[in-house]
Every structure is written in C-alpha cells, then in structure tokens.
C-alpha cells in the first residue's frame, strides 16, 4: 500500500495522524480522576502550547477525545492531562499504567488570554474537573507571580474528596499575592471541612480584587458559569473582562467534524476559551445573564 505523496499542503504531517506518547507518571487525584504525565516518543522538539489549549487523545481501537492540558508550558519535556472516568474512552484510559502508550495530537484551540492578564488582578473560578484547564495557568502564575497582581482562585466541588490537585494547594497559598478559596456542595457527616459550603459564588464576598482592573477566567459546568458570569457582572466586572472555557463533543479538533459548533463558532478552533461578549453573541443564550 502506498502512502500520500507526503503532500500535506504546508503542514508537516497528516493532521489526523495521532502520535505515540508514553505515560511517565500517574497521580491519583480522586477515586475517579487521575493526572497523567505524557512524553512523546522520539520527539526532538519540546511540546509547545498555551494553558487552556487541548489535545486529542486516542486509544486506537476505542476512540479519540479532547482533553485539556493541565500542566504548565514551562514543563518542557512532558505534559499532563487530568482525566475523570466518565465514558468508554476515559474508562479505558483509567486502566492504563506507567509505560503504556496512547496516541496524542495537538495542541488545539485558543487558550487563556494570559498576556492581557499580566499586570492585572485575576479571579480564577473553577468547578469540579473544570480546574484542570486552569491548573497550568495557576502554576504558571506561581512561577511568574511578580508579573501579576492579586490572584484569587475560587474552586467549588461536590464533596471534599472530589477536589483535585490538593497536593498543590499549599504552594498556591504560599505564592505572594495568590489566595485560594474552597467550597463544596455537600460535606458528608463526620468529615472535617474548615472551608466554605455551598455554591462557588458564595465565596465572592471574600474577594479583595478590584473588578475595574481585573480579569476573570472560569471553567466548570455551564450552569455554574452562567451564575458566576451573572454575579461577576453584578459585582462590577465588565463583560469584556470575563473569559470562559466551554466543553463540547469533538472528534477532530480542527473544525472539520462539525460537532462542537455553537452558532457560527467552532469551540475547537475559535475556543475553547471565549470572551463573554463572544459567547453572548451566540444563539441559545448559553451564559445569558438575565437580571
């Protein structure tokens, strides 16, 4: 069988072709979520991406799906994905061990607008595994905190044992200018929980950020983001200062399969990070802040 004439139209390779990557580390975050560290096999160049972007991960024979990159770009020789077991593909990934191979292609999409956040305050709001696409950003700020103003991370989860990246909270708290607030929907009987209870917007009263000189980045369930966006606007954040990361089903990552489309936007190439006005212009009132 012959292959293409190596004619990929200005691309170095077939964009559908997934590349061999090996798991070098697995960290159990919760009972159903793990953080995997991957390394491309035989890759000479460092993997270059921006926090908020995603990769398409394949287990050949099972399928392929989009997963946000959860490490910092400064970790040059490898990268992380934090994956919760929810379906066939993630279940199969959950059974992998260190040394096992997967197929990865990427990075795809538009990440967080980090450059516009430099010199400003930053409010980061996450729900559940929605913290994964923000972890790379937070750890980048930890490394470069002098470039940023006050940074507040507000993270909500279902229960205390659903929190991810718990090992890193101390580092985040000790970073100058950075504060971490936690809340859970429900505290099971007998569990000691010194932090907040209830929805993530309950934490807003503790914020010391001046909305006039701040950006807000958020990722979580759409229903959460809808209420957060609404609360932020009430608190004086301009619509232009709010950014969200959206989730959609994707099978290509390259605006070809058509699945992730919302109105005229492809979440894979126009997003997954959108500004609030961009989302507002889309049909279906995704994050409609109706007052």
Residues that bind other proteins (CB under 8 A): 1-5, 7-11, 14-18, 20, 22, 41, 60-64, 86-90, 101, 103, 247-249, 251-252, 254-259, 261-264, 266, 269, 283-284
Nearer to other proteins, 8 or 74 (CB): 8
Find the shortest distance in angstroms from Cβ 34 to other proteins: 16
Nearer to other proteins, 5 or 95 (CB): 5
Separation in Å, CA 120 to CA 48, 218, 237, 281: 25, 16, 13, 26
Find the shortest distance in angstroms from Cβ 290 to other proteins: 14
Find the shortest distance in angstroms from Cβ 194 to other proteins: 31
Residues 6+ apart with CB under 8 A from 48: 73, 107
Find the shortest distance in angstroms from Cβ 76 to other proteins: 22
- State how far the Cα of 141 lies from the Cα of 252, in Å rounded to an integer: 31
Find the shortest distance in angstroms from Cβ 154 to other proteins: 24
Find the shortest distance in angstroms from Cβ 198 to other proteins: 23
Up-side HSE of residue 264: CA atoms within 13 Å toward CB? 3
- Chain centroid offset of residue 113 CA: 13
287 phi/psi in degrees, rounded to 5? -120, 35
DSSP-derived pairing of the beta strands 151-157 and 178-184 = parallel
Nearer to other proteins, 14 or 147 (CB): 14
Sign of the four-CA dihedral 49, 51, 54, 55? positive
Residues 6+ apart with CB under 8 A from 190: none
Nearer to other proteins, 61 or 194 (CB): 61
Omega before residue 60 within 30° of 0, cis = no
Nearer to other proteins, 55 or 72 (CB): 55
Nearer to other proteins, 194 or 264 (CB): 264
Find the shortest distance in angstroms from Cβ 98 to other proteins: 14
Nearer to other proteins, 62 or 187 (CB): 62
Tokens found for residue 65: 């799906």
Nearer to other proteins, 126 or 260 (CB): 260
DSSP code for 257: S
For residues 214 and 235, the answer to whether their CB atoms sit within 8 Å is: no
Tokens found for residue 163: 């929190």
Sheet with 101-108, edge to edge strand ranges: 63-68, 54-59, 101-108, 19-28, 33-40, 79-84
């Amino acid at each position: 069988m012959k292959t293409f004439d190596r004619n990929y139209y200005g691309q170095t390779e077939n964009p559908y072709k997934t590349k061999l990557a090996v798991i070098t580390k697995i960290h159990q975050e919760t009972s159903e979520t793990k953080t995997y560290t991957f390394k491309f096999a035989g890759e000479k160049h460092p993997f270059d991406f921006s926090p908020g972007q995603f990769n398409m991960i394949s287990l050949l024979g099972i399928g392929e799906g989009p997963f946000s990159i959860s490490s910092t770009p400064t970790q040059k020789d490898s990268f992380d994905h934090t994956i919760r077991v929810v379906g066939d593909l993630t279940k199969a990934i959950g059974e992998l061990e260190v040394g096992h191979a997967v197929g990865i292609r990427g990075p795809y999409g538009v990440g967080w607008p980090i450059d516009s956040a430099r010199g400003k305050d930053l409010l980061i709001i996450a729900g559940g595994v929605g913290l994964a696409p923000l972890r790379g950003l937070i750890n980048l700020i930890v490394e470069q905190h002098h470039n940023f103003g006050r940074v507040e991370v507000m993270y909500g989860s279902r229960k205390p044992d659903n929190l991810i990246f718990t090992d890193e909270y101390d580092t985040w708290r000790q970073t100058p200018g950075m504060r971490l607030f936690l809340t859970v929907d429900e505290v099971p009987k007998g569990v000691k929980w010194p932090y907040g209870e209830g929805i993530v917007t309950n934490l807003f009263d503790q914020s010391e950020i001046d909305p006039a000189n701040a950006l807000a980045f958020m990722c979580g369930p759409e229903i959460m983001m809808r209420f957060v966006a609404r609360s932020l606007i009430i608190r004086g954040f301009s619509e232009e200062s709010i950014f969200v990361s959206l989730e959609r089903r994707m099978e290509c990552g390259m605006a070809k399969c058509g699945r992730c489309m919302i109105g005229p936007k492809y979440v894979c190439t126009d997003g997954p990070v959108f500004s609030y006005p961009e989302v507002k212009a889309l049909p279906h009132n995704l994050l409609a802040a109706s007052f």
